[in-house]
Structure 1
């Protein structure tokens, strides 16, 4: 083999080696790109899975919260015209929720002068109670001015106060709910109240008794 042939083959071998190097480099580059793509895809898939899991947890928590809100007790305090007569007011404590309110307690911001009504209210409000759903407690709150002529002095709450209601909901780990209500009968204005209705000129004893029963039922229904 002469020198020219040797040189030619050397060049061919070098070109083949260079081509092989290029192929290897391109293959390595493609592999790197594919690896990066797979990594990016894996990261994207992980983020999607994470977001889906977070959304699922959020939805589950919201559904649980909605379930609690739908089944929890709702206790409120309000003043209504009293069954005791004109100018008097009753305290109405009602659970309008779907479960019992347990360990139900009340805190009054200020107490008026001591009398028969306030003593009874204090005794009732300071004792923890259980109030089933769709149940009402009704009691005298205000019976008129303390120094009116003929007054027994049993007035009750003749001052505006805040009453804080605290109670537990259902379940093995019950949540405590605390709400505050402002009670001021003077701010309620001309609130409608029951009246005796039309009096019959000559009612029979039966009609008179029925009229009294209807009036009593209507008075009671006003408290619900």
Structure 2
């Protein structure tokens, strides 16, 4: 067997150095690729989160509440408002306890709820929800109340104009008897000592004050 010469040793060391260099280059390339992949993934996740944040910040937000009526106590109105930053499209509502058969007030609310509409940001819809007759009077059909009940759940569904935004759905409780004593925006004496035109003008002023106060509620 021939003894390895100096040239052979140099050649072997060169091949080993070349293989080691190639392996190091491969490791560096793999590390660079992995770093680039992680950076790309982080950038993509950041873009997705930014888009989600933008959707949340500019989304419509519609709520429903039953409040004392502009027609005066002890009547009630339903108010549907969009306090979001964009229009609510295809808005439709439902109620958990529709009376059967519905009277005129209940039917008007059902028509309002089932008619799809667009609600612009900062706008609202208000309609009669419940009417109650006075202690010494009744409605023409002999009943003492009309419209919808004092409890139940109002469901809303709507969407945004952004095609990537989800369809929103929310539930709001009607709890007239469980909401404490409602303050009514009306002040001053009762006017019990007034009569005739003075009483009529006094009640007109009360109605105006109540309406202004309710609009600010």
**TM-score, normalised via structure 2 length:** 0.81
The yes-or-no answer on 1:144 pairing with 2:135 is no
Q: Aligned to 2:59, which of 72, 87, 99? A: 72
Preserved contact between residue 161 and residue 184 of structure 1 (Cα < 8 Å): yes
| 1:159-181 Cα distance to aligned partner (Å, 9 max, x none) | 42222211121145664222222
Matched, 1:24 2:8: no
Residue in structure 2 matched with residue 4 of structure 1 by the alignment: none
- Secondary structure of the structure 2 residue equivalent to 1:143: strand
1:194–1:211 CA distance, 2 compared to 1 (3 A): closer
Contact 2:60 2:84 in 1 (8 A): yes
Deviates more, 1:183-192 or 1:119-128: 183-192
Q: Structure 1 residues 188 and 119, CA, compared in 2 at 3 Å: closer, same or farther?
A: same
2:68 and 2:75 in contact (8 A); partners too: yes
CA distance in 1, matches of 2:153, 2:207: 36
- Given that 1:84 and 1:143 are in contact with CA atoms closer than 8 Å, whether structure 2 keeps it comes out as no
Say if 1:87 and 1:143, in contact at 8 Å, map to a contact too: yes
Matched, 1:41 2:28: yes
Which structure: larger Rg?
1
1:169 aligned partner = 160
TM-score, with structure 1 as normaliser:
0.78
Provide the alpha-carbon RMSD of the alignment: 2.9
Structure 2, unaligned stretches of length 5 or more? none
Would you say 1:98 and 2:85 are equivalent positions? yes
1:110-149 to 2 correspondence within 5 Å? 110-113=97-100, 114-144=102-132, 149=136
User: Which structure carries more helix by proportion?
Assistant: 1
**Which of 47, 52, 62 lines up with 2:49 in the alignment?**
62
5+ residue gaps in structure 1? 1-13
Deviation at 1:220, TM superposition (A): 1.8
